[in-house]
Amino acid sequence: MNKDLIKGILILAGVLLALFVGAVAATDHGVDKLGCVFRALSHGIALSNVHAVCGL
């Protein structure tokens, strides 16, 4: 692969990660809700039902 392409992908991934972390940190109890989402998904709850389980 081209080095510029890899750099671009890494930069884009970093920006998306920063936006995601900022969005979680800006919400009320964002870290708790994020933990709830990960626990629900790891226990087999369907992605379409996570909002009902975690109260999103």
How does pLDDT run across 5-47, given as a tens digit for each residue? Answer: 999 999 999 998 888 877 777 777 777 787 888 888 888 888 7
Angle separating helix axes 3-26 and 30-42, nearest 10 degrees: 110
Structural domain total, the chain? 1
- The range of the structural domain enclosing residue 23 comes to 3-54
What confidence score (pLDDT) does residue 56 get? 66
CB 33 within 8 A of CB 41: no
Find all residues with CB under 8 Å of 24, minimum gap 6, and list them: 30, 31, 33, 34
Q: What is the pTM of this model?
A: 0.52
Give the length of the chain: 56
Strands of the chain, DSSP E: none
At residue 27, the pLDDT reads: 74
